């Protein structure tokens, strides 16, 4: 396909348009980037309805999992969401980390950043921040985050290894991530791999599942675990744009699989313990380090 910069430009342009599309249109296509299917709704996304912290206006139907449900976020954590879109996963994470924590969303599409900031202002949240930037060169210092989440975004970045190394840099020692993404088992047909629309649609940019997990291990992460896996089926009326009837039959009946996986991994080190000092302890002169309370 194109070079790395050209691919990023394609994704940025397409996701500026997607920011203005409705959830139904996005969810019935490949990550909002392809023509919607008239046969299937919710091709990739999982349903957030009923999730604590869910904000309907921030849900553009672009995800392929529920990483925040697996992320083991604690009160007071600093959480970073990669490819934060309109802010949906950030607001769910903020419910978990509470007002004493901090949530940072990073996205390189200005239209998405603006939409997310508008949603945060409507909610009156002062500990949710959205920063414009690339997730393979995060506008964040080293060792900042307790938890990193991401929902169907790494597959859009040409250099996956660079992003994974950035995640390692930004996490605190003992921190962890939970990321939902699209991966492959077997090779996609050439017409799908070569099409920019399918790249922006989270499919052509996906890499082999084994390679994806190996990149995480190579970066130095431990306790690498697939928390959830589900099969992604691309409807025939989308595939017909790229493949003949015979090619569709061979593709759908062969050994190639497209999957959404949610992966957990930890950065080695001791996670700092968070202990709150109660007001009653301060008033009584109790020193928490002495074990009196």
pLDDT at 67: 95
Q: By C-alpha distance, which of 82, 102, 22 is closest to 57?
A: 22
Range of lowest pLDDT (48-62, 171-185, 230-244, 252-266): 48-62
Distance CA(230)–CA(5), nearest Å, equals 31
Strand ranges for the chain from DSSP E: 78-82, 102-107, 128-132, 145-151, 171-185, 222-231, 257-266
Helix, strand or coil, per DSSP, at residue 79:
strand
pLDDT at 128: 97
Using DSSP, how many helices (H) and how many strands (E) does the chain show?
Answer: 12, 7
Distance CA(107)–CA(135), nearest Å, equals 7
Distance CA(111)–CA(16), nearest Å, equals 5
Q: Is the pLDDT of residue 22 over 70?
A: no
Q: What is the mean pLDDT of residues 266-273?
A: 84
Range of lowest pLDDT (13-22, 75-84, 209-218): 13-22
Q: Please, what are the domains in the chain?
A: 4-290 (3.40.50.150)
Q: Is the pLDDT of residue 189 over 70?
A: yes
As a dihedral over the C-alpha atoms of residue 141, residue 147, residue 150, residue 151, rounded to 10 degrees, the angle is -160
Distance of CA 243 to the CA centre of its chain: 29
Q: What is the mean pLDDT of residues 224-253?
A: 88
Query: Residue 182: phi, psi to the nearest 5?
Result: -100, 130
State the pLDDT confidence band at 286, using cuts at 50, 70 and 90: very low
Q: Is the pLDDT of residue 21 over 90?
A: no
Q: What is the pLDDT of residues 123-132, one digit of tens each?
A: 999 999 999 9
Q: Is the pLDDT of residue 17 over 90?
A: no
pLDDT at 30: 58
Range of lowest pLDDT (30-39, 49-58, 98-107, 124-133): 30-39
Q: Is the pLDDT of residue 290 over 80?
A: no
| Long-range contacts of residues 132-137, Cβ cutoff 8 Å, at least 24 apart | 132/106, 132/107, 132/108, 133/106, 133/107, 133/108, 134/8, 134/108, 135/82, 135/83, 135/106, 135/108, 135/163, 135/166, 136/162, 136/163, 136/166, 137/162, 137/166
Distance CA(176)–CA(243), nearest Å, equals 40
Q: What is the DSSP letter of 227?
A: E
Q: What is the pLDDT of residues 158-171, one digit of tens each?
A: 899 999 999 999 99
In our burial notation (b when 16+ CB lie closer than 10 A, e otherwise), range 137-165 reads: ebebeeebbbbbbbbbbbbbbbebbbbbb
Range of lowest pLDDT (9-23, 51-65, 154-168): 9-23
State the pLDDT confidence band at 1, using cuts at 50, 70 and 90: very low
pLDDT at 279: 29
Q: What is the mean pLDDT of residues 11-21?
A: 77
State the pLDDT confidence band at 232, using cuts at 50, 70 and 90: confident
In the block, tokens 């309805």 appear at 49
pLDDT at 200: 66
State the pLDDT confidence band at 251, using cuts at 50, 70 and 90: confident
């Amino acid at each position: 396909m194109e070079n790395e910069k050209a691919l990023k430009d394609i994704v940025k342009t397409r996701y500026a348009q997607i920011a203005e599309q409705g959830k139904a249109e996005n969810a019935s296509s490949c990550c909002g980037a392809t023509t919607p299917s008239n046969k299937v709704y919710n091709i990739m996304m999982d349903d957030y309805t009923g999730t604590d912290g869910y904000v309907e206006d921030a849900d553009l139907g672009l995800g392929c999992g529920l990483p925040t449900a697996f992320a083991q976020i604690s009160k007071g954590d600093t959480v970073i969401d990669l490819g934060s879109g309109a802010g949906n996963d950030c607001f769910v994470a903020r419910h978990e980390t509470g007002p004493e924590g901090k949530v940072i969303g990073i996205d390189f599409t200005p239209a998405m950043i603006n939409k997310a900031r508008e949603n945060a202002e409507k909610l009156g949240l002062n500990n949710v921040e959205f920063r414009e930037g690339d997730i393979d060169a995060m506008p964040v210092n080293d060792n900042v985050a307790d938890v990193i989440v991401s929902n169907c975004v790494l597959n859009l970045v040409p250099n996956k290894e660079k992003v994974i190394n950035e995640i390692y840099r930004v996490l605190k020692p003992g921190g962890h991530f939970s990321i939902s993404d699209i991966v492959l088992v077997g090779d996609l047909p050439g017409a799908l791999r070569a099409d920019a629309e399918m790249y922006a649609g989270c499919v052509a940019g996906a890499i082999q599942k084994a390679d994806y997990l190996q990149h995480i291990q190579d970066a130095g992460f431990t306790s690498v675990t697939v928390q959830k896996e589900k099969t992604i089926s691309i409807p025939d009326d989308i595939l017909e744009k790229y493949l003949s009837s015979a090619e569709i039959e061979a593709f759908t009946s062969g050994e190639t699989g497209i999957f959404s996986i949610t992966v957990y991994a930890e950065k080695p080190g001791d996670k700092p313990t968070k202990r709150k000092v109660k007001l009653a302890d301060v008033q009584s002169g109790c020193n928490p380090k002495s074990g009196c309370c």
